[in-house]
C-alpha cells in the first residue's frame, strides 16, 4: 500500500531514502493506533482507591497526539480532565494514560473527549466529569485553508452538566 502511494505521488519506492519507508510506516501506524489493541481497564490495575475527598480534582495541560479519522493526519494539543469523586479516586498518573489510550486511534476530537468522560464516569462513578480538549489539526493547517486555528471541545457529565457553578469552577481551574 505505501509503495503504491509513493508511486502515485511520483516517487520511486526503490530509491535509497524510501526503501525502508513501507516498513517504517507500518511500525509507526501500529504504534499510533495502539488504543485499538489495549483494554483501558488494564490501565487501572491497583489505581482506584476509596476516598472521602469530595472536591474537584483536575489534571490539566495533558499533551495528546492523535490521528484525524478523515485524513489520517495528526492532530495534537492539550487535554484538561476534572472530576468530583464520590467515594473513589484514581491515581493522578492514570488520567494522562487514559487520555493517551483514547488518542491512540483514528479519532474525531469531539468523540475523543466523550470517550474519556464516559470511561471515567463508568469506572469511578463520580459525581461528575469534565473534559476539555484544545487541538491543532494539521488536516486543516496543511491543506487548502492553511488555518492555524485551534479546535476546542468539551464533554461534561453529571454535576458538571447539571450545575453551571460546577462547570464554571472547572473552566476557571483550567484557564
Predicted confidence (pLDDT) per residue in 20-66, tens digit: 999 999 999 999 999 999 999 999 988 999 999 999 999 999 999 99
How far is 136 from 13, CA to CA, in rounded Å? Answer: 31
Predicted local confidence at residue 137, as pLDDT: 93
What counts of helices (H) and strands (E) characterise the chain? 7, 7
The pLDDT value recorded for residue 124 is 96
**100, 109, 115, 169: the active-site residue:** 109
Note if 31 is an active site residue. no
**Averaged pLDDT score across all residues of the chain:** 95
Active-site residue 3, yes or no?
no
Nearest to 149 by CA among 137, 167, 132, 139: 137
Output the pLDDT for position 123. 96
Name the pLDDT band for 147 (thresholds 50, 70, 90). Answer: confident
Provide the angle, in degrees to the nearest 10, between the axes of the packed helices 109-124 and 94-103.
Answer: 140
Q: Which residues contact 47 (CB under 8 A, 6 or more apart)?
A: 90, 91, 94
Catalytic (active site) residue 68: yes
Residue 70 annotated in active site: yes
Cell of 162: 447539571
Ordered structural domains, the chain, with CATH: 2-31 (no CATH), 46-174 (3.30.1130.10)
Residue 110 has pLDDT above 80, yes or no: yes
In the chain, pLDDT over 90 holds for what percent of residues? 91
Q: Is 80 a catalytic residue?
A: no
What's the pLDDT at 167? 97
Relative to beta strand 48-50, strand 88-90 is: antiparallel
115 is catalytic: no
Q: Sheet containing 128-137: give its strands across.
A: 106-107, 57-68, 74-84, 128-137, 150-158
Q: Taking the complete model, does pTM exceed 0.85, yes or no?
A: yes
The answer to whether 74 touches 67, Cβ cutoff 8 Å, is yes
d(CA 137, CA 139): 5
Catalytic residue (choose from 68, 80, 115, 169): 68
Is residue 110 part of the annotated active site? The answer reads no
Helix (H, G, I), strand (E, B) or coil at 12: coil
Taking only the tens place, the pLDDT of each residue in 70-104 is 999 999 999 999 999 999 999 999 999 999 999 99
Question: What is the predicted pLDDT for the residue at 144?
Answer: 75
- Catalytic pick among 3, 11, 38, 71: 71
Which cell goes with 151? 479546535
Amino acid at each position: 500500500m505505501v509503495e503504491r502511494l509513493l508511486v502515485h505521488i511520483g516517487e520511486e519506492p526503490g530509491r535509497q531514502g524510501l526503501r525502508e519507508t513501507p516498513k517504517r510506516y507500518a511500525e509507526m501506524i501500529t504504534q499510533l493506533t495502539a488504543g485499538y489493541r489495549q483494554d483501558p481497564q488494564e490501565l487501572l490495575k491497583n489505581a482506584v482507591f476509596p476516598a472521602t475527598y469530595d472536591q474537584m480534582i483536575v489534571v490539566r495541560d495533558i499533551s495528546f497526539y492523535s490521528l484525524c479519522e478523515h485524513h489520517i493526519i495528526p492532530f495534537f494539543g492539550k487535554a484538561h480532565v476534572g472530576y468530583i469523586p464520590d467515594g473513589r479516586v484514581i491515581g493522578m498518573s492514570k488520567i494522562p494514560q487514559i487520555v493517551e489510550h483514547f488518542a491512540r486511534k483514528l479519532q474525531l476530537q469531539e468523540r475523543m473527549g466523550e470517550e474519556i468522560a464516559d470511561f471515567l464516569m463508568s469506572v469511578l462513578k463520580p459525581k461528575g466529569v469534565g473534559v476539555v480538549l484544545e487541538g491543532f489539526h494539521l488536516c486543516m493547517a496543511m491543506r487548502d485553508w492553511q488555518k492555524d486555528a485551534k479546535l476546542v471541545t468539551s464533554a461534561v457529565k453529571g454535576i458538571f452538566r447539571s450545575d453551571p457553578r460546577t462547570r464554571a469552577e472547572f473552566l476557571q481551574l483550567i484557564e
